[in-house]
Amino acid sequence: MAGLKNDRFLRALARDPVDVTPVWIMRQAGRYLPEYRATREKAGDFRALCMTPELACEVTLQPLRRFPLDAAILFSDILTVPDAMGLGLYFTEGEGPGFRHPVRTEADVDRLGIPDPEGELKYVIDAVRLIRRELAGAVPLIGFAGSPWTLATYMVEGGSSRDFGRIRRMLYQDPALLHRLLDKVATAVALYLNAQIAAGAQAVMLFDTWGGVLSAHAYRAFSLAYMTRIVAALTREREGRRVPAILFTKNGGLWLEAIADAGPDAVGLDWTIDLGEARARVGKRVALQGNMDPMLLYASPARIREEVAFLLERFGKGSGHVFNLGHGVTPDVDPERVATLVAAVHELSRSYHVA
């Protein structure tokens, strides 16, 4: 892509040769950075931070000023789509997100509209445009959305949940209603991601945070089927280059081959699966992203380097690996530990790639 100074991330997703393994970190813009906390205080609350393009741009760029990361990821929240569908999103300090109008009946599903990305979600699309401009081709920008199943868990439960009792009961008591809900959400997510791509996102990722709570057959029917549909609907080429898609299901290692067959360019892995075994299972079908346990960032720098070395060895030689955590960086991590991680990946991976 013209003007892209560092395209390791995109090259690795295409399994093209790279000089070193690229690295970015889920939740790399977040509360572990003092500059993020200062910006959030300036915004007043998390919702205002997400909905102000200039502030979303600022926190997207903050980790790139500290660390030589190989990609930026749009700062936003997965619940922007259901919020734009009229559910009344709010955040409570210490308790997380909630919805004033949860979706539990046929009438609730009927009331849901498909939001216009350049209307109700324009603040996100404007942030994408602004971030692309401010990045000035330094690294690629990743756009993202929550998977339909994961978004539906919040929509039906009314917020976070420990056992997902309401939506899992709906799944078995009224599967047709749940499919109608997921169908609407999938349509909205596909439009949203394509709008991010049109605005400048150079890769997109679907976060299926709660797919792993499902049984094997329910996962395929109520989560993977809708992600497969979204991937098929995505714009896959823009600005003369492929726009790769990454699918990430937390606790999804059991279904790795099925996820790889859903059409993505890469599969994100949490820390519960062995990276070498995952590579053997998917072969040349997809690239892999992951998968260090986020808790290792509390270890000593020497232990972090040791884990990086282990994971690089488990993947082995050649391209097709994007180093990441198996989930997001936690709020009280020392930023210097993140610096250690990023430096170790770039230094120790060089020997796995042909110059």
Is 132 an active-site residue? no
Q: Is 28 marked as binding a ligand?
A: yes
- Given the residues 32, 36, 154, 219, the one annotated as active site: 154
Catalytically annotated residue among 27, 229, 305, 337: 27
Query: Which amino acid is residue 249, in one-letter code?
Result: T
Active site residue 242: no
Catalytic option among 31, 166, 180, 236: 31
37 is in an annotated binding site: no
Taking the C-alpha atoms of residue 189 and residue 187, their distance in angstroms, rounded to an integer, is: 6
Residues with Cβ within 8 Å of 69's Cβ and at least 6 positions away in sequence, in order, are 23, 24, 25, 28, 63, 139, 342
Residue among 37, 109, 26 at smallest CA distance from 74: 26
Residue 40 annotated among the catalytic residues of the structure: yes
- Residues 77, 83, 208, 265: which is the catalytic one? 77
As given in the structure block, the two tokens for residue 335 are: 């930023």
Is 208 labeled as catalytic in the residue annotation?
Answer: no
Work out whether strand 321-325 and strand 287-292 pair parallel, antiparallel, or are unpaired. Answer: parallel
Within 10 angstroms of residue 187's Cβ, the number of other Cβ atoms is: 16
Residue of 19, 37, 40, 241 marked active site: 40
Give the dihedral of Cα atoms 158, 164, 167, 171; nearest 10 deg.
Answer: 170
Q: Does 27 show up as a binding residue in the annotation?
A: yes
Q: Is 30 annotated as a binding residue?
A: yes
Q: Is 56 labelled as part of a ligand binding site?
A: no
CB contact at 8 A, 231 and 247: yes
- Ligand-binding site membership of 190 (annotated): no
Is 289 annotated in a binding site? The answer is: no
129 labelled catalytic: no
In sequence order, the 6+-apart residues with CB closer than 8 A to the CB of 315 are 21, 275, 276, 279, 288, 321, 352
**Is residue 160 within 8 Å of 97, Cβ to Cβ?**
yes
Rounded Cα distance between 334 and 31, Å, is 11
> Which residues does the annotation place in the binding site for substrate?
27-31, 77, 154, 209, 327
Q: Catalytic amino acids?
A: 27, 31, 40, 77, 154
